[in-house]
Structure 1
Amino acid sequence: MSATPAAAATATAEAAAAHAEAVSCTGLTYAFGETKAVDDLDLGVREGEVFGLLGPNGAGKTTAIRCITTLLPVPAGMVRVFGHDAAKERMGVRRMLGYVPQQLSADGGLTGRENVALFARVFDVPRRERAARVDLALSAVDLSDAAGRLASTYSGGMIRRLELAQALVSAPRLLILDEPTIGLDPIARTGVWEHINAVREATGMTVLVTTHYMDEADQYCDRVGLMHRGRIRALGTPEQLRRGLAGRKGTDTLPTLEDVFRDIAGSGLDDNTGGGFREVRSTRRTARRVG
């Protein structure tokens, strides 16, 4: 029995809506033992946008990112990337994304070109396309001239751009960046973002980023989600969130995004949400190596 026209139209609309979202999390929950890092998270990232996931340490941002990238297992139906279920189609999802983790991923004992070429093999870029893809990725982040040098001789900003090239070599539809400018000086931070935006404008790539730098989120993100204790507590453009806080406070002075962050997180910005010894040690080690 064929579907009624109304039912068919509804199904078509639902399919179009699903396709319009690069990332969709529905009731995403993940726990480490008795500690619930992500708690019934609902999140949608639109195709082509730069979406910032903000929150204090321990908010669950990195855990959510690892679920989206299939590095942590989740039940079917909780995470979809361009309509593909991250539980049922893990390899298919991985082929569509590039990932720059918080921890250092470049090998100092390899040249810049060798690092990117290694990732081309890991991401299963066809052999006949690898050399051209590696050259294109290095050029996109302005590292062509330094490609023959060991990565151990690179500055902090160059290292982060090299890791961006590693993620871009597979021509991903979705680029996920976990604290991409951690430990960098303001000039290097700006340089990394300029290259991210240049690639995005050229390819239409979707970008999902976590950052603690509110000025970065305000300047570069189309929308942001403020995450606290495993859930999204506020969602919108940076301006919408700032104006919303101004309305609640009854002030004519437009607050900063950091003001909004502090208002939403509230008690989360205390000693109990520092991420623990391992996270602090890892973050400091990363900052020291790239700085």
Structure 2
Amino acid sequence: MRTSAIIIGALSAAAYAKPVAQNGRWTPEWQNLNAEVSAGPSASAVPTPASSASVLGVPGASPNPTPNSKLVADLLTAPAGSDRITLLQDAEKNGIADFKARRSSIVFDLNPAANNVTAGAGGVVITADRKRFPALTTLDVAVAGLFYQPCGLNPPHAHRATEVLTVATEGTLLTGFVFDNTASTEISEEISQFQSFAFPEGSMHWQQNQECHPVTAIAAFSNEDPGAITTANRFFKNTKQDVVLAALGFPEQITPENFEQFKNQIPDPFVKGIKQCYDKCGIPY
């Protein structure tokens, strides 16, 4: 088995609106709204209870409105905070979003069923960021609901934001992160219901459900667009193979027996580059 496959298994605005004044009130010029709707969960597609019954949440939750980049663009160019509130209030009236009668544009449902998603083997995360929840535009904050299956792992990843994670239901999460190259020790703690743990911006971090039942946590972020970079997936699946080989220095195969040896042989940056370059330059590799 190739090393990369084993390690992967182991680590397992749109165009801006033109403002126009109507009766002294600032509003956007709503045009071609259908063409501006970004791809996202269908407002009419509600998964059956069976699709989300294995994770915490309300399986019958009504879907969130379809994300719309036009609304985000107008919120970004609104002259004042009060104008942004007006935009959110008028979103349905102006046809910019498909909101249910009981759902306003400043409410977002983190339930998996409200977002038309299917949980993976370890669970699922639902993020309310600027794209999915336009009300957050310019507020420098986002939130996520993390629904862990029994023993589920949210694998190592990083954000362009500081994250504060709070366990919302009964249960225990084992958490950990590593920071920059000058901090070589992993910081790891167990947190239980209503306890919080902070992951610094850019840190590579993870969480493991320690229970035999589902656990839910809520995460707050210091950026309305925090993003996520899942380390193993992004590195092994999306980086050139020769670069992965050079960065890790691993052998043809890696097994539980030689993992410790492999780990200790990973070179510190900077490292020798890809072999083809050395061959081209006539330099011994």
TM-score by length of 2: 0.25
User: Which has the greater radius of gyration?
Assistant: 2
Higher relative contact order (CA 8 A, sep 6+): 1
TM-score by length of 1: 0.25
